[in-house]
Amino acid sequence: MRHTLPIAPQFYVTAQQPCPYLEGRQERKLFTSLHGDDAQRLNDKLSHQGFRRSQNVLYRPSCSECTACLSARIDVQKFELSKSQKRV
C-alpha cells in the first residue's frame, strides 16, 4: 500500500488560548503546513486571504467573537520612509 499526500491542503484549528493582543479575550488560529511543489503558490494565495507565515506554517486568527486582528501587506517597491523613520 502506498501513502500519498492529499492534493488540497489540510487545515487545522488550535485550541483556545489567551489572546496576546487583547486582555481578557481568547484566540484560536487556523493553520496549514506549507510543503511540496505547490508551496509557493499556496503561500501566495493564502497570504492574499490574510494568512501569515512562520517557517513552513501558514496561519491566521480564527476567533469566533472578535475580528480585531488585521493582516497588512506592504508593497516594498512603493514604500517610502517618513522623516521620523529616516532619523532612526
Per-residue confidence in pLDDT tens, the chain, 88 aa:
565 655 688 999 999 999 988 999 999 999 999 988 889 999 999 998 889 999 999 999 998 888 888 877 788 899 999 999 888 6
pTM score, whole prediction: 0.71
Neighbours of 31 (CB within 10 A): 20
CB 36 within 8 A of CB 6: no
Whether residue 4 lies inside any domain: the answer is no
Whether residue 71 lies inside any domain: the answer is yes
**Residues 6 or more apart whose Cβ sits within 8 Å of residue 62:** 13, 28, 29, 30
Whether residue 31 lies inside any domain: the answer is yes
Query: What pLDDT was estimated at residue 6?
Result: 57
Whether residue 7 lies inside any domain: the answer is no
Query: What pLDDT was estimated at residue 65?
Result: 85
Whether residue 16 lies inside any domain: the answer is yes
Residues constituting the chain: 88
The range of the structural domain enclosing residue 41 comes to 12-87
Which strand (E) or helix (H) includes residue 42? helix 39-47
CB 87 within 8 A of CB 79: no
Domain tally, the chain: 1
